[in-house]
Chain A
Amino acid sequence: MAVAAPGIVEMDDARLRVQIEDMFSDYVHSIDDDRIEAWPEYFIESAFYQIISQEGYEAGHAIGMMHCDGKGMMQDRVKAMRDANIFEPHRYCHVMERPRLNRNSADTYSARTNFIVNRTMQNGDMETFACGKYLDSIDVSGETPRLRRRIVVLDSRRIDILLVYPL
């Protein structure tokens, strides 16, 4: 078993772990299955969402590739994607590792989860589109766990063609 960092209480609630893991799965499935309207619902109202490269994250840069300050901006992303943006049809498949969870306080957990995203284009071209980790803060005060903050840290600073679906 991994040793927790000093000052951090490890995850000790098995039922809550299952709830968080299910929420993570539902989150990526909503994107992979093109039910993108559901994506903002995994966040609390004032949540922060960002996609940034590892290099930018380490350098403390404020701007990455996507930045939503509040659920409204996420909903605008969804609407823009559906109504405004033009792009060639494609589909993601997220594959995640088991989240590493830590309890920060009674109602906040933090997590790191590595992932790979495969992208399939309409003509059948398939390739690894993204690889990185989710760095999350999770609000567990409500009925179901919700993301308070999700920073998507990508190993690469380079995007292939464009980024329209969230990760």
Chain B
Amino acid sequence: MTETAARQTNGSFKWPEGGVTRVPYRLYTDPEIYAREQERIFRGPIWNFLCLEIHIPNPGDFKTTFIGEIPIVVTRDENGDVHAMVNRCAHKGSLVCLQERGNRKNLTCVYHSWTYDLDGQLNGVAFRNGIRGKGGMPKDFDPQKHRLEPLRVEVYCGMVFGTFSEETVSVSKYLGTDMDHHVRRNLGRPLKLLGFHSQIMKHNWKLYAENVRDSYHATLLHTFYTTFKVNRLDMDGGIALSDDGWHSISYAKRAKFEESEEYAAAEVHSAQYDSHLSGPEMLDAWPEFEDGITHSIQALFPSLAIQLTLNSLAVRHFVPRGIDRTELFWMYLGYEDDDEEQTRMRINQANLTGAGGLVSLEDGCINEFVERGTRGSSDDDVEFLEMGGLDVAPSEGSRATETAIRGFWQGYRELMEFA
């Protein structure tokens, strides 16, 4: 038996030499690793995005979502407090809330009418005392011991986060000072939802986690910007990282466009077209922040990204739908105090991203190409991630780097305990 086959049969996994510059394709296809992620990542000491606070503005409002594959319901109770529970009846495991959103006085499972308070506490079991003295629950049945599994929640910058772990520090500490500052910059004001949709991508969820951190591909694959000369690698920009490397910001500052020799020499297909929009008002924008940053994608471990590209503000949440499926939820936002003209600009700029985004639509298929390309690969085959160095470190002045991807894998390895 070869060494490779032996490894497959005993299911063990060892990270290859080269640390986070080498990422085995097996991580995207191995069912045992996928199952371990549900436990160690999604139930681990991290904060998971659950929903926006504006999804549940009123007492009794609920919103269902997922952490990994686990169904979750988020509620706002009579006192205005936010709760999150596993959306799974303590009796037979049925979904308690079937709809994606709604308003209820309490949560009742349709199967046998077990009823829960908005904080997940069991407050009613149908026929608990039987019918005409017959049947019913045993005398020692204790409703206190049968509730919806609760999560710790924190409402942070208009978003509701949840964790299964008692160990997770506050969201702002989890993110670190710089990341916290940037989230507050973008979302630290009352928000309004301008639109939403989702898209199904046919690959493992981690390929999208890489994709949102992949500043190297941005202007090479996404050629709309370069075709219309909106954004190029030669713009002033860089990568900011949290101290642990888990979270990152890829940012660009508007600079005067100049033909770059690197583009011309590489003959990349993004540099060969003229730049005139027939509907230029699509890119009408105004400078919102004094720091001069016009584009930023902030990736928060494990499965959230916040974009503010020009004035297009959106939260992207990606959810595993099995080992080889990922659903990406796009929530487009504005601020409550936006005027009509600002709203118009955000609406037009929404054309840049999303499932039909002029800039980003390639991301719907590109990781499927990786998924398909790596089929039939051996356990020793790996991604090669040395662009911009071997380490996990911030990059000032250049986005031609994979440092943020390496940072993701650093966090992943730590949580998965992959030595």
The contact of B362 among A61, A65, A77, A87, by CB within 8 Å, is A87
Please choose the segment from B3-11, B44-52, B219-227 that sits at the chain A interface, where 4 or more of its residues have CB less than 8 A away.
B219-227
Across the interface, which residues of A come within 8 angstroms of B356, CB to CB? 51, 65-66, 159, 162-164
Supposing A76-B282, A85-B358, A86-B221 touch, asked if A56 and B197 sit within 8 A by C-beta, the answer is: yes
* A100 contacts B by Cβ under 8 Å: no
A85 touches B194 (CB 8 A): no
Q: A70-B279, A79-B278, A87-B365 given; name 4 further pairs at CB < 8 Å.
A: A62-B194, A72-B277, A73-B279, A76-B358
B194 touches A83 (CB 8 A): no
Question: In the complex, A158 Cα to B278 Cα: how many Å?
Answer: 29
Across the interface, which residues of A come within 8 angstroms of B196, CB to CB? 56, 61, 63, 157
* A64 contacts B by Cβ under 8 Å: yes
Question: In the complex, A64 Cα to B400 Cα: how many Å?
Answer: 32
Seen from chain B, the residues whose Cβ lies within 8 Å of a Cβ on chain A are 193-202, 221, 223-224, 226-228, 270, 273, 277-282, 327, 332, 343, 346-348, 350-351, 354-356, 358, 361-362, 364-366, 368
Query: Which of the four size classes fits the interface of chain A?
Result: 35 or more
Nearest opposing residue in chain B for A40, CB measure: B278
Across the interface, which residues of B come within 8 angstroms of A58, CB to CB? none
Nearest opposing residue in chain A for B361, CB measure: A162
B224 touches A63 (CB 8 A): no
The contact of B278 among A63, A76, A159, A164, by CB within 8 Å, is A76
The distance from the CB of A77 to the nearest CB of chain B, in whole angstroms, is 7
The distance from the CB of A144 to the nearest CB of chain B, in whole angstroms, is 22
Across the interface, which residues of B come within 8 angstroms of A163, CB to CB? 199, 355-356, 361
12 contacting pairs across A/B (C-beta < 8 A): A56-B195, A56-B196, A63-B350, A72-B280, A72-B281, A80-B227, A86-B223, A158-B327, A159-B197, A159-B364, A162-B355, A162-B356
The contact of A63 among B194, B358, B361, by CB within 8 Å, is B194
A69 touches B332 (CB 8 A): no
Which DSSP category, helix, strand, loop or mixed, fits chain B's interface? mixed
Q: Which of A87-129 contact B (CB under 8 A)?
A: 87-88
Nearest opposing residue in chain B for A56, CB measure: B195
Across the interface, which residues of B come within 8 angstroms of A5, CB to CB? none
B197 touches A161 (CB 8 A): no
Across the interface, which residues of A come within 8 angstroms of B227, CB to CB? 80, 83-84
A88 touches B365 (CB 8 A): yes
Across the interface, which residues of B come within 8 angstroms of A162, CB to CB? 199, 355-356, 361-362, 364-365
Question: In the complex, A53 Cα to B282 Cα: how many Å?
Answer: 21
B199 touches A159 (CB 8 A): yes
Q: Which of A26-67 contact B (CB under 8 A)?
A: 51-53, 56, 61-67
A69 touches B197 (CB 8 A): no
The contact of A80 among B195, B355, B358, by CB within 8 Å, is B358
Supposing A51-B356, A162-B361, A163-B355 touch, asked if A84 and B194 sit within 8 A by C-beta, the answer is: no
Across the interface, which residues of A come within 8 angstroms of B199, CB to CB? 158-163
Nearest opposing residue in chain A for B270, CB measure: A84
The contact of B279 among A63, A68, A86, A158, by CB within 8 Å, is A68
